Amino acid sequence: MDDVKPTKEHKTLLEYVRANAGYRPNIAEMLAENKGPCPDCWGRGRVVAPYERACPIEGYKMADRIACPKCNGDGRIPKKEWVESYKKYNAAFKERVSQWQERETRRRELIESVGYDIVEEIINLWR
Ligand SMILES: [Zn+2]
């Protein structure tokens, strides 16, 4: 009964980037400049140095930072990388809808084959 048709969470590239890149107030500006926030450093340009280990109390608060290898410290990556990622998200969504549609079609076939009265009786016996 919980198999509802999938709904698309992120309807635009901007929504998708905002949801997946953390809160960055200038994402729309970045996209307008054919850039996007770096997903490895959350747009900060710096990451924890690979030799650092988390302090049990302070975590990585005092850890050394290095320039992010993915964006070379810029905090931004080419917009096309986000576009590609969004395309994959859209393809995966389409696949989920397609799989749901197959199940829905099969459910309707089964209901039609035994008749709705029988299905209703079965459901009521479970209540
Ligand atoms: Zn980065």
In a structure prediction context, what are the per-residue pLDDT tens digits for the chain, which is 127 residues long? 589 999 999 999 999 999 998 767 789 999 999 999 998 998 889 999 999 999 999 999 989 999 999 999 999 999 999 999 999 999 999 999 999 999 999 999 999 999 999 999 999 999 8
Instruction: Output the CA 71–ligand 1 centroid distance in Å.
Output: 4
The answer to the question of residue 6 being in a domain is no
H or E segment and range at residue 37: strand 35-37
What is the reported pLDDT for 42? 85
Domain membership flag for residue 1: no
Q: Is residue 93 part of a domain?
A: yes
Rounded distance from Cα 25 to ligand 1 centre (Å): 17
CA-to-CA separations, 74 to 37, 98, 116, in angstroms, rounded: 9, 39, 61
CA 113 to chain centre: 38
Q: Which pLDDT belongs to residue 23?
A: 65
37 CA distance to ligand 1 centroid (A)? Answer: 8
Q: What is the number of residues in the chain?
A: 127
- CA nearest neighbour of 48 among 28, 64, 34: 64
**How much is the pTM?**
0.77
- Determine the pLDDT at residue 43: 85
pLDDT at position 116 is 92
> 10, 7, 67: which is closest to 41 by C-alpha?
67
Q: What is the pLDDT of residue 1?
A: 59
Q: Confirm whether 5 is domain-assigned.
A: no
Predicted confidence at residue 21, as pLDDT, reads 85
Q: Based on the structure, what is the number of domains in the chain?
A: 1
Residue 73 domain-assigned?
yes
4 lies in a domain? no
Pure H helices in the chain: 13-20, 27-32, 79-114, 116-126
Structural domain of residue 86, as residue ranges?
13-126
| Closest-CA residue to 82 (of 29, 18, 36) | 36
**How close is the Cα of 56 to the center of ligand 1, in Å?**
26
